[in-house]
Amino acid sequence: MTKLSSKINPKIDQGGVDSTAIGSKFPSWLRNLLIIMLLAVILYPLFWMILTSFKPTQEIIESSSPWPKDWTFENFTSGWTFAGIGSFGTFFTNSLIVALLCVIGNVVTCTLAAYAFAKLSFRGSVALFALVVGILFLPKEVLLIPQYTIFSSLGWTNTFIPLVIPHFLALDSFFVFLSVQFLRGLPKELDEAAELDGCGPFRRLWHITIPLISPAIATTAIFTFIWTWNDFMSQLIYLNTPDKFTVSVALRFFLDASSDSDLGAMSAMSLISLLPLFVLFAIFQKRLVRGAAMSGLK
pLDDT value at residue 79: 86
Percent of the chain residues topping a pLDDT of 90: 35
What does the pLDDT look like over 81-90, one tens digit per residue?
Answer: 875 677 888 9
What does the pLDDT look like over 153-205, one tens digit per residue?
Answer: 999 999 999 999 999 998 888 999 988 988 888 888 887 788 787 787 788 88
**Fold adopted by 84-294:** MetI-like fold (1.10.3720)
Task: Round to whole Å and give the CA distance between 67 and 51.
Answer: 6
- The residue-averaged pLDDT of 282-288 equals 76
This prediction's pTM: 0.80
pLDDT value at residue 83: 56
- The residue-averaged pLDDT of 106-114 equals 93
Average pLDDT, the chain: 83
* φ and ψ at residue 18, rounded to 5 degrees: -80, 110
pLDDT value at residue 84: 64
Residue 139: pLDDT band with limits 50, 70, 90 = confident
Alpha helix segments (H runs only) across the chain: 2-7, 19-25, 28-52, 57-62, 74-81, 88-119, 125-134, 140-153, 161-164, 173-184, 188-196, 201-204, 210-212, 214-230, 233-238, 247-250, 263-294
End-to-end CA distance of the chain: 39
Task: Round to whole Å and give the CA distance between 81 and 92.
Answer: 12
Residue of 143, 115, 140, 141 whose CA lies nearest to 129: 115
* Among the ranges given (57-71, 123-137, 229-243), the one the predictor scored with the smallest mean pLDDT: 57-71
Residue of 49, 54, 61 whose CA lies nearest to 77: 54
Q: Would you say residue 14 has pLDDT above 60? A: no
Q: Would you say residue 41 has pLDDT above 70? A: yes
Tell me the C-alpha to C-alpha distance, in Å, between residue 120 and each of 29, 112, 117, 180, 205: 52, 11, 6, 12, 11
Q: Would you say residue 10 has pLDDT above 60? A: no
Where in the chain are the domains? Answer: 18-78, 84-294
